[in-house]
């Protein structure tokens, strides 16, 4: 419904006052809506007298748009913009002057109420989009903060307890913890329940354009710091890390691909139990490049394997761990925007003989961009 419940209640009140006018047979309020063909149509949102009938929309070729002897239209117009219309069917024509003035006053009241209702709906939609983008940026901000903490802790280990620079690294780690507290506080303000406010929104869950990489950027350069971060995290957690044998030769929107892999690696280290191996496997089958982040932990339950790709949805193993449930939704959304796909494969051995028989594998499949034409 393009209008709010408050506007519908106002429509019912305005139309109901004509119960003392026997010459008025029916009243119908329509709002303008863009049709599938791009042409505007009139969508009924309220009628009097109230009954169980279902009124059809009125498109540009409907005979109902043509005034008849007992039917007239009062436009609900804001300047040059047609917001809707009030259809009146009365037994007398022309209308008595008191009735005409009364109907015109109702049309003016509905016009102003509809204008405010539509403006409020637009503002709420924009606010939802802003909150979604802010929540997404906060989610992505945690990945580099985690990397800073990981590298800082490794450096602290190497310096030893008596090193003169140990206090500097401890200060950096303290600042990282403070920034994380700020991020948590902002996230709580935006999403008090820890979930994205607009989880039911049909809008794409994409990163802002500023975070997308330039077209044609080599992926290998952005993968190297991710692999370094993964190796450092594995060392701190006492895991075995299996990096790819070679960096893939792929160019395109590498910034988006790096964001997908960063989320998958973060999930693998967060949700698989300590001691379970984690790795990144690469393969190619001609037109597609496959990048697979896998872990050797317990398999995700069958009933959750599709649901975890929804916005704000988290599996049973992650209920007690921090997170918003946006990483997989963002990854699949970005993958599809690149013409690829992100899917869960269990067990990892189903993808390659070198992968473990137990665990989970998230495979990102990307089409290879067309080869550039040779220069003359």
Q: Please say whether the beta carbons of 70 and 91 come within 8 A.
A: yes
Give me the mean pLDDT over the 30-42 stretch.
79
In this structure, the answer to whether residues 251 and 372 fall within a common structural domain is: yes
Residues 241 and 367 in one domain: yes
What kind and span of H or E run contains 167? helix 166-190
Longest dimension (CA), the chain: 100
With left for phi above 0 and alpha for psi between -120 and 50, is residue 189 left, alpha or beta? alpha
Question: Does 148 reside within a domain?
Answer: no
Nearest to residue 101, comparing CAs of 12, 10, 9, 21? 21
Domain count, the chain: 2
The CA-atom distances, in angstroms, between 106 and each of 12, 93, 114 are 12, 19, 12
Whether the ω angle into residue 132 lies within 30 degrees of 0, i.e. cis, is no
Percent of the chain with pLDDT over 70: 84
Regarding whether 363 and 221 lie in a shared domain, the answer is yes
CATH code for position 106 = 3.30.450.40
Q: Are 362 and 215 found together in one domain?
A: yes
Residue 327 belongs to domain with CATH number: 3.30.565.10
Pairing of strands 288-295, 278-284: antiparallel
**58 pLDDT more than 90:** no
Of 308 and 372, more confident: 308
**Averaged pLDDT score across all residues of the chain:** 84
- Note whether 107 and 248 are same-domain residues: no
pLDDT the model gives residue 87:
92
pLDDT in tens, 212-262: 556 678 899 889 888 988 998 899 899 999 999 899 989 888 888 988 998
Please check whether residues 216 and 357 belong to one and the same domain.
yes
Can you give the residue range of the structural domain that contains 29?
A: 5-124
Do 118 and 212 lie in a common domain?
no
DSSP string for 44-98: EEEEES--S--PPPB-TT-GGGS-BTTEEEEEEEETTEEEEEEEEEESSSSPPHH
Q: Identify whether 182 is part of a domain.
A: no
Q: Tell me the pLDDT band of 346, cut-offs 50, 70 and 90.
A: very high
The kind and range of the H/E element at 276 are none
pTM of the model: 0.60
**13 occurs within a structural domain:** yes
Give the contacts of 232 (CB within 8 A, at least 6 positions apart).
147, 150, 151, 154
Residue 198 has pLDDT above 50, yes or no: no
Q: CB count, 10 Å around CB of 309?
A: 20
- At 62 the pLDDT is 60
At residue 141 the predicted structure's pLDDT band, cuts being 50, 70 and 90, is confident
The predicted pLDDT at position 174 comes to: 83
* Residue 81 belongs to some domain of the structure: yes
Pick the last residue of a domain from 124, 139, 172.
124
Clarify whether residues 113 and 231 are in a common domain: no
**Does some domain include residue 215?**
yes
Domain termination site, one of 98, 124, 150 = 124
Tell me, yes or no, whether 311 lies in a domain. yes
- Could you tell me if 205 and 134 are in contact, meaning their C-beta atoms sit under 8 angstroms apart? no
Burial of 224 (0-12, 13-18, 19+ CB in 10 A): exposed
Residue 341 lies in a domain: yes
Q: By the 8 A CB rule, do 3 and 114 touch?
A: yes
Neighbours of 315 (CB within 10 A): 17
Does 372 lie in the same domain as 242? Answer: yes
Bigger pLDDT: 322 or 376? 322
In a domain, 349, yes or no: yes
Looking at 90, 105, 124, the residue that finishes a domain is 124
d(CA 113, CA 110): 5
In terms of domains, do 226 and 109 share one? no
> Tens of pLDDT along 150-195?
888 888 888 888 888 888 888 888 888 888 877 877 777 776 654 4
Strands 241-242 vs 278-284: parallel, antiparallel or unpaired: parallel
Tokens of 70: 């007992």
**CA gap 313, 326 in Å, rounded:** 8
Angle at 308 between CA 128 and CA 364, to 5 degrees: 100
Same domain, yes or no: 256 and 369: yes
């Amino acid at each position: 419904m393009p209008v709010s419940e408050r506007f519908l209640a106002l429509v019912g009140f305005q139309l109901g006052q004509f119960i003392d006018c026997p010459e008025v047979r029916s009243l119908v309020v329509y709002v303008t809506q863009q049709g599938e063909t791009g042409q505007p149509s009139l969508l009924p949102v309220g009628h009097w007298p109230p009954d169980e009938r279902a009124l059809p929309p009125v498109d540009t070729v409907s005979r109902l748009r043509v005034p008849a002897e007992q039917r007239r239209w009062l436009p609900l117009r804001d300047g040059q913009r047609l917001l809707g219309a009030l259809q009146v069917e009365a037994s007398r024509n022309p209308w008595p002057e008191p009735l005409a003035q009364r109907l015109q006053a109702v049309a003016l009241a509905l016009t102003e109420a509809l204008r405010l209702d539509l403006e409020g709906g637009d503002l709420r939609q924009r606010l939802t989009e802003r909150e979604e983008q802010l929540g997404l940026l906060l989610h992505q901000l945690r990945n580099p903060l985690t990397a800073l903490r990981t590298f800082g802790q490794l450096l602290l280990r190497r310096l030893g307890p008596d090193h003169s620079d140990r206090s500097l690294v401890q200060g950096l780690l303290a600042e990282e913890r403070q920034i994380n507290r700020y991020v948590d506080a902002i996230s709580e303000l935006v999403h008090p329940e820890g979930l994205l406010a607009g989880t039911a929104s049909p809008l794409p869950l994409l990163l802002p354009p500023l975070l997308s990489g330039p077209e044609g950027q080599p992926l290998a350069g952005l993968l190297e710091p991710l692999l370094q971060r993964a190796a450092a995290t594995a060392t701190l957690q006492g895991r075995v890390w299996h990096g790819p044998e070679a960096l893939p030769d792929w160019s395109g929107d590498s910034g988006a691909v790096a964001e997908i892999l960063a989320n998958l690696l973060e999930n693998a280290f967060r949700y698989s139990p300590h001691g379970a191996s984690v790795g990144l496997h690469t393969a190619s089958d001609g037109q597609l490049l496959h990048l697979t982040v896998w872990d050797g932990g317990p398999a995700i339950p069958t009933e959750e394997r599709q649901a975890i790709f929804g916005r704000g949805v988290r599996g049973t193993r992650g209920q007690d761990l921090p997170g918003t449930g946006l990483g997989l939704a963002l990854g699949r959304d970005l993958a599809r925007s690149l013409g690829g796909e992100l899917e869960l494969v269990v067990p990892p051995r189903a993808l390659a003989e070198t992968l473990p028989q137990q665990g989970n594998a998230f495979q990102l499949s990307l089409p290879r961009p067309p080869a550039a034409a040779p220069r003359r």
